Structure 1
Amino acid sequence: MERRHLLAGSAAAAALAAPNLASAQPRIRWRMPGSFPKSLDTLYGTQERICRRVGEMTDGAFQILPFGPGEVMPALSVMDGVGSGTVECGYTSAYYYLGKDPALSIATCLPFGMSSRQLWSWLQEGGGRALLADVYRDQGVMAIPAGNTGAQMGGWFRREINTVGDLNGLKFRIAGHGGAVLQKLGVVAQQIPGPDLYPALERGVIDALEWVGPYDDEKLGFQRVARFYYAPGWWEYSPSIDLMIHPAAYEALPNHYKAILEAACTEAWHWMMARYDHLNPQALRRLVAQGTQLRVFSRDILSACYRAAQDLYAEIGSSNARFRRIHAEWDKYRVEEVQWFRLAEDTQANFLGLMAQQQQR
């Protein structure tokens, strides 16, 4: 009996002495507007996932509320809202704002750039984040990579594109420097937010558009208003999406909250890629079954676009020293990575692709 009393007393004393971790942590509440429609359960779903994981890892003490485009601010104003301090953070892609600084596009992706694994390596191990920090700082934000779609498709076209000449006069919704590259080949490039894409294509305001890939494109219904679906999306081999944070809000966080944000964003980056890799093949089969015509850009078109991209980078670099410096580091890393992957992975991928074709016959 005495022993039971002693044990009970010890347990009570331990409970009184132990800190209440949930109540000991500062209670913080942020808002996170985003640039991606709520109907897209992977893009917007990743935004929601970051918010949920931060809450879970802090026992609900640090809460971030996600918002879709237009609920707090327009889709393409998220970085401005974070930079001004209107909101504490936002979920968006830096290349939407390259008109403010062309180097912002390097933070998301450049045409004919690196794969998702190569880009992650550059950002985390190759010094990419440090190189880009000043670019973000000039916009009043700091950024954590927090998502990647993996390789995207080349978009939906109302008519076939067989030659470089077919690009001339084409009204094409395309974001980032991909649009500037195509303008050199006669394309009329336009940047239109996600929610407005379907009606623009349906009404003929544009002749073609690119968005992400089969899973999201199917959800938005592009197959109903355009027949031809092209690959590859050479302008978005691995677009990175950022959690942008107002610096004052970030610095006010306890160090363990900062670490939790990093962990949640790293998890989000890889979760998004895994989900798209799982869902895109299934969606592509459905699209083809519904009559979508798959096409691949010709080697002539790809070569012309590649040359135009190199010309564009040289032009931008001639008037923007920081872009020239970051691009040089990015390109050096890209070339080394491509050679390694070409030897170690592409040879096997090509062989396995051939074997898979034979199995399906």
Structure 2
Amino acid sequence: MRRRDFLTAAAATTAAGLLSACNDSNRQAIDYSKHPGKKSDDDKHVNINRNRKTKLTLATSWPAHFPIMGTGVDRFAENVNRASGGSLEIKVYPKNTLIPALAVFDAASSGQIDAFHSGPYYWKGKNSAFSLFSGIPFGLTAEEINSWMLYGNGMTLWRKHYAKYNLHPFMGGNTNIQMGGWYRKPIASLSDMQGLKMRIPGLGGEVFSKLGVNPVLLPAGEIYTSLERGVIDATEWVGPALDLKMGFYKVAPYYYSGWHEPGSILELTFNKHKWDKLASEHQAIIEMASAQMNTDMASEFHFENMKALETLKEKGVEIYPYPQDVVEAGKKALIDVMREQSALNGDFKEVADDIDSFLAQSKAWSKASLHYFLNIRE
């Protein structure tokens, strides 16, 4: 049996057992207080109405069946339907079929849709603190983000600040470390960054702005054409797997390793009022399915990236490191950005301070373990 089939079957079995237990007239309420994704305090543990199907609308920021991110959401919806015995149906709407790609936050906040799948750093215009939940240049890896979210204060802080917008988020995947981007011309020194127009979101965009770059925010479908026509000079996207499918190597042959997104959260976020009204069994099923999606997506990115990197090399693509003066300037710029944003926004400072505390401990452990191992493995 394939691992994914096993996990899906296990989730369905677990959910079936959960539903059976919950039907007992003397059932005990699920203890979410010990679960990292615990529910809101006003939860009523509503029972499922077996005679009525619950339907939810979920819009994404990705094209239909987009590799890994889009297909991961499709599998999530399928798993929820199967685990619930068909009592909960999530209808997935790819970008622009119901809601524009970068309008899903507002649509879910207002109740126009029930949920969305996207990335938190797209909403930094709402609250700069949101960019911190996606990832930080030179910061948390995918494993560290999961640890901070689930066992540190990450999830508590995320839900606290999203609740102000009537939203209730879950982790919905992680891209793992991302590449530094595709450039139409080589970067030999920091001076070559001056005046470049680059598609790059989040804190990475803020840092690159201080290096002289003009950050541009574009949805996936517009990046290749903008790069081909010279509307932008460079773009970061994700990593070899998705970059290869986007065909960036055809119009921007210089590919750089990255440090701006060492691990990037994707989000599965619900309208909070809608979430609070869901039956407790449906909430539990969604929590289990989202946790599986989060793990599967990170693993799939790693698997597909390592294969796609070989293909890119066969096509003549070379991987370049950023010049050292760019790296050092990036580190200094990050300090300035964090200091400036913390002074402007108390929410940003609260989240940033917590990440700093967590990262200090994690760095010490990584240095004694993973860093040592990777060095001697080579």
1:292 counterpart residue number: 317
Decide whether the 8 Å contact of 1:26 with 1:62 is kept in 2: no
| Cα RMSD after superposing both structures | 1.6
2:229 pairs with 1:203: yes
Offset at residue 346 of structure 1 (A): 1.4
Decide whether the 8 Å contact of 2:48 with 2:282 is kept in 1: no
Decide whether the 8 Å contact of 1:22 with 1:59 is kept in 2: no
Decide whether the 8 Å contact of 2:57 with 2:114 is kept in 1: yes
Of residues 338, 348, 357, the one that matches 1:323 is 348
1:182 counterpart residue number: 208
2:26 pairs with 1:34: no
Largest Rg, 1 or 2: 1
Q: Per the alignment, in what secondary structure is the counterpart of residue 128 of structure 2?
A: coil
Paired letter, 2:320: R
Unaligned runs of 5+ residues in structure 1 are 1-17, 355-361
2:39 counterpart residue number: none
Q: 1:22 to 1:327 in 2, by over 3 A?
A: closer
The list of structure 1 runs, each at least 4 consecutive aligned residues, that deviate by more than 4 angstroms after superposition, is none
Deviates more, 1:292-301 or 1:255-264: 292-301
Offset at residue 74 of structure 1 (A): 0.7
When the two structures are superposed, what TM-score results if normalisation uses the length of structure 2? 0.86
2:290 pairs with 1:265: yes
Q: Distance in 1 between matches of 2:234 and 2:315?
A: 19
Aligned ranges 1:52-201 → 2 under 5 Å: 52-201=78-227
Tell me the alpha carbon deviations over residues 19-73 of structure 1, each in whole angstroms, 9 at most, x when there is no partner. Answer: 9x99737510111110122352201011111111111110111000111110011
Q: Distance in 2 between matches of 1:32 and 1:300?
A: 44
Offset at residue 333 of structure 1 (A): 0.4
Tell me the alpha carbon deviations over residues 248-277 of structure 1, each in whole angstroms, 9 at most, x when there is no partner. Answer: 110111111111111111100110011111
Offset at residue 134 of structure 1 (A): 2.3
Q: Distance in 1 between matches of 2:64 and 2:235?
A: 20
Paired letter, 1:325: E
Q: Distance in 2 between matches of 1:154 and 1:218?
A: 14
Paired letter, 1:68: P
Decide whether the 8 Å contact of 2:65 with 2:74 is kept in 1: no
Q: 1:22 to 1:332 in 2, by over 3 A?
A: closer
Offset at residue 298 of structure 1 (A): 2.3
Decide whether the 8 Å contact of 2:176 with 2:263 is kept in 1: yes
Q: Per the alignment, in what secondary structure is the counterpart of residue 192 of structure 2?
A: helix
Offset at residue 319 of structure 1 (A): 1.6
Decide whether the 8 Å contact of 2:148 with 2:358 is kept in 1: yes
Offset at residue 286 of structure 1 (A): 0.7
Tell me the alpha carbon deviations over residues 122-165 of structure 1, each in whole angstroms, 9 at most, x when there is no partner. Answer: 00100111112222112221101111010111111111112111
2:331 counterpart residue number: 306
Decide whether the 8 Å contact of 1:114 with 1:238 is kept in 2: yes
1:351 counterpart residue number: 376
Unaligned runs of 5+ residues in structure 2 are 1-22, 25-46
Decide whether the 8 Å contact of 2:257 with 2:320 is kept in 1: yes
Tell me the alpha carbon deviations over residues 60-110 of structure 1, each in whole angstroms, 9 at most, x when there is no partner. Answer: 110001111100111111111100100011111111010110000111112
Decide whether the 8 Å contact of 1:228 with 1:292 is kept in 2: yes
Q: Distance in 2 between matches of 1:49 and 1:272?
A: 11
Decide whether the 8 Å contact of 1:171 with 1:190 is kept in 2: yes
Identity among equivalent positions (%) equals: 30
Tell me the alpha carbon deviations over residues 274-310 of structure 1, each in whole angstroms, 9 at most, x when there is no partner. Answer: 1111111111111111121210112321111011011
When the two structures are superposed, what TM-score results if normalisation uses the length of structure 1? 0.90
Q: Distance in 1 between matches of 2:359 and 2:190?
A: 26
Paired letter, 2:370: E
Decide whether the 8 Å contact of 1:250 with 1:258 is kept in 2: yes
Q: Per the alignment, in what secondary structure is the counterpart of residue 204 of structure 1?
A: coil
Paired letter, 2:363: V
Paired letter, 2:167: V
Q: Distance in 2 between matches of 1:112 and 1:217?
A: 21
Decide whether the 8 Å contact of 2:181 with 2:255 is kept in 1: yes
Q: Distance in 2 between matches of 1:42 and 1:322?
A: 32
Equivalent residue pairs, number: 334
Q: 1:162 to 1:59 in 2, by over 3 A?
A: same
